[in-house]
A and B are shown apart, each in its own frame.
Chain A
Amino acid sequence: MGDFASVVWDIFTSEATYTIGALFAALLLFGAAGELVAERAGTINISVEGMLLAGAFGGAVGFDLTDSVAVGVLFGIGGGMAVASVQAEMSHRLAADQFVVGLTLNILVLGLVGFLDHELAPVAHKAAAWRVPLFADLPLVGEALFGQPWPFYLVYLCVPVTWWLLFRTRWGLEVRSSGEDPRSADLSGIDVNKRRRQSIYLTGLMSGLGGAFLLFAQVGVFDDGMVGGRGFIAIAAVIFGGWTLKGTIAGSVLFASALSFRLSLQAQGYEGINSELLQALPFLLTIAGMAIFAKRVRPPAALARPFIRGLK
């Protein structure tokens, strides 16, 4: 066990652990912050996985066309929004089952990018790192939080903006009431399905950003397996966090730590803990968390229930 303890010590004292962890956490947060808004409006938006992938692919296309990371990021947003538009319009205009739509979209996006992948020139495109003076020199976490490629810093914008939108604006109030009691919201003059659609578009926007971030700040080369279920982990983070922003951030950071810890263990060549089981850890944590808290945490009352005026 002494061996394990020293490995853990090495991991916790290595800057790389934190740098990788921060990147993982940022990706989860891009997805989860938007997902939180969608869920507070009443949608379990499973297509966030597809939105992330579409964002990454959009980024690659944008870069392919213009050689500019900034344009790539914009294209990434477009990719996320495209997926969001299908999810939003089909589940909250046509009232098709949101899970069915989300699931199909995930599969469709995977197929689409797999099909179109070959049109792209296989070049590496990674954004340059921006070091924030002084802060980046902080021990251990300085690099992780302030020495990353520039798309990383967008997460510092996304999270507070989500908070502000959801809890400080009229729009947020209307979104929350749409997720809690769509009938009352409707009687009060709120277009419930419009708010729900908008919240999904917001998820698309942020996940699109997240996908572009994944491409430009983390991986560098597009690959159709690059998201690899982390959209689902983002959903798990929202639920694990009890549908609060604080909880969602905590969930994202916790799951990112688990992912980063696993990578670091591998990097250290430690074989004592099986890496497959570690990889399953975020999922197991979420399931355990839900089993423990499900009866105490209250989801939005109308979560996953379609709203059609006059129908319960």
Chain B
Amino acid sequence: MKARAGEWIALYTISVLVALVLSGVLVEVSGGDWWPVLEALVDGSVRGPQRWGQTLGIAAPMLLVGLGTIVSSRAGLVNIGQEGQLLFGTAVAVYFGFRIGGPGPLNVLVLLAFGALGGAVWAGIAGVLRTHRGVPEVLTTLLMVTVAGQVVAYGLKKQSLLLAPAASRGNRNQVSEQLAADNRLPVLRVFGNEIPSATFLAVILAILVAFAMGRTVWGVRLHMLGRNPRIARRVGVSEQKYGLAALLVGGAFAGLAGAVMLTGGGFQFSNYRLVPGFSAGIGWTGLLVALVAREKVLAAVGAAFVFAALRNGSGFVNSTGVESRITEVVQGFLVLALLIPPAVMFLRDRRRSRAASAAGV
């Protein structure tokens, strides 16, 4: 067992190093210097004033999306439409949030709830098509991302749907009303950093998800469905119920992430308004968080923080004369690098066990 741990660490170290070196080479080739870029990244993500809090604020929705993804992939479903579920969830939250308009703090809860509901509905369409018509959810969830973008853009053109009244939108033509100050998630101050309460919400939900997946009958049944749907069916785990539920939960988390981005105080994604492109890639990144974490909640927390740091740090990179999108490249290389060790180890384990069973031992 010890030797195996060593192999894991070695593989991960090498892969990540290669990814980072590749990124560094790319910076050098395009005429930059890698060291200042790295410094800028660190300054922009954790070292600079207020940056810690912002990074945590960005990590929160990423983690939320990742948690939902973990639940749906636990059931063997490949949901890759979080970006759309997030956007549509936010739109639903905006639509109902401004119509219900209860007392401030309570309305925050309304916004979050409708965000989750909207995300669940959007994922649920793909879910029902999967469980009742046999349509692969990989494709429907993916295609629904673009549809969500178009639907929300359409909604933002109609004042009866999402568009803000002329008085409050100034000269912009596709923008929702701004959330009132008391409709926003509170910000906590820790050591001079502003940390949005969303971060705490995400961590609490992470603990809940970890518990649900590992310790509850529901979690075991989802796992069974994901890994062997036939035995699952034999023992009474209905794909139509559990599979759909897993996708709904996945969508709900994405929608919740959107609502958090809208209401979350510490980091402002779009100044408390819904605009086209509001989702800003958080859905995609959250998906990547879950993919590199491979269904492990703790790893998802770590990955969310790293990706959030890259994103937050990218703001400082421009000052070094290097295009800030290098952070996207680093992120892509990192994800690919993190895919390699488990794939290698999987192949080796399975070859060994196959050999063992082939030889009847």
Chain A residues in contact with chain B, CB under 8 A? Answer: 44, 46, 86, 90, 94-97, 99-101, 103-105, 107-108, 110-112, 114-119, 229, 232, 235-236, 239, 274, 276-277, 279-280, 283-284, 286-287, 290-291, 294-295, 299, 304, 308, 310-311
Contact = CB atoms under 8 A, between A and B. Distances in A.
Interface in B335-350: 335-336, 339-340, 342-344, 346-347, 350
Contacts of B144: 283, 287
Given A99-B78, A107-B328, A115-B30, A290 B336 contact: no
A115 B340 contact: no
A310 B358 contact: yes
B339 A96 contact: yes
Contacts of B129: 287, 290-291, 294
Nearest to A46: B142
Interface stretch (B132-140, B191-199, B218-226, B231-239): B132-140
Interface string B143-156: 11011001101100
A103 B133 contact: no
Contacts, number: 147
B332 A311 contact: no
A310 B288 CA distance: 30
Contact of A119 (B30, B135, B142): B30
B332 A108 contact: yes
B343 to A, nearest CB: 4
Nearest to B350: A311
11 contacts: A44-B139, A90-B339, A95-B343, A97-B339, A108-B336, A110-B328, A112-B329, A235-B139, A239-B139, A291-B133, A295-B133
Interface of B: 26, 30, 78, 80, 129, 133-136, 138-140, 142-144, 146-147, 150-151, 153-154, 157, 284, 287-288, 291, 323, 325-329, 331-333, 335-336, 339-340, 342-344, 346-347, 350-351, 354, 358
B139 A104 contact: no
A96 B146 contact: no
A284 B147 contact: yes
A236 B288 contact: no
A101 B328 CA distance: 15
Contact of B331 (A90, A103, A107, A114): A107
Given A229-B146, A280-B146, A114 B325 contact: yes
B17 to A, nearest CB: 18
A291 B136 CA distance: 10
A110 B285 CA distance: 13
